[in-house]
Every structure is written in C-alpha cells, then in structure tokens.
Amino acid sequence: MVRIEHFELRTPDVVALRLPAGAVLRVSTGCLWLTQDGRCEDVWLQAHGSWTAPQAVSVRLSAEPSVDFQIAQAAVVRRAPRMRMARTGLGMAGAVGAA
C-alpha cells in the first residue's frame, strides 16, 4: 500500500522535510528546488519530474516561484490484534447455554 500526500508551495521560502528511504517526490506543476543535507548537489524538478530518496534523508525544498507536488511512500499497515478463544472447559453445548 502506498500513501500519497499532496502539497502546494506558494513561496520561495525554504522548507525542511525528513523523508524515509524510497519516498518519491513528484512535481505536478511548477518548479521545485531540492537539496539534501550534507550534499552539495542541487536537484531541480520541473512538472512531471520525480526524485527518489536513496535512504532516509533530510531535504530542503523551495518553490520557483510556486509548485504543486506529491510525496509517495510506503504506508505503514497495522494488523488488527488476533483474538484468541479462551478455553472454558465446557463443551460446545455448554458454551452456547444448552440446558
């Protein structure tokens, strides 16, 4: 299962995000500047461009001048706890209240 979040950035202010490994950033409209903390390379994404986080990473983003984008990442699926039937020592008839 994949979780997709939609974002609009309408300011050139820099926004910091922490992305998990494998998260995909996709630009719908506009232009997005992206840089990873600790790396000197910048990434510029135009409409329909995408970038995948190689590992869990902190990034900084900015719109040039505005951008619509999505972040897709694996969704955490939590399983419902399993229910266990308790043994009561009663037979099936006793469990349903047979006389």
Q: Where along the chain do its domains lie?
A: 2-74
Q: Residue 12 — very low, low, confident or very high, per pLDDT cuts 50/70/90? A: confident
The whole-angstrom separation of Cα 60 and Cα 41 is 12
Burial of 7: CB neighbours in 10 Å, binned 0-12, 13-18, 19+: middle
- The residue-averaged pLDDT of 29-40 equals 91
CATH class entry, domain 2-74: mainly beta
Share of the chain above pLDDT 90, in %: 61
Return the half-sphere exposure (C-beta side, CA atoms, 13 A cut-off) of residue 28: 12
Model-wide pTM > 0.95 = no
Contact 57, 99 (CB under 8 A): no
Measured between its terminal Cα atoms, the distance across the chain in Å is: 50
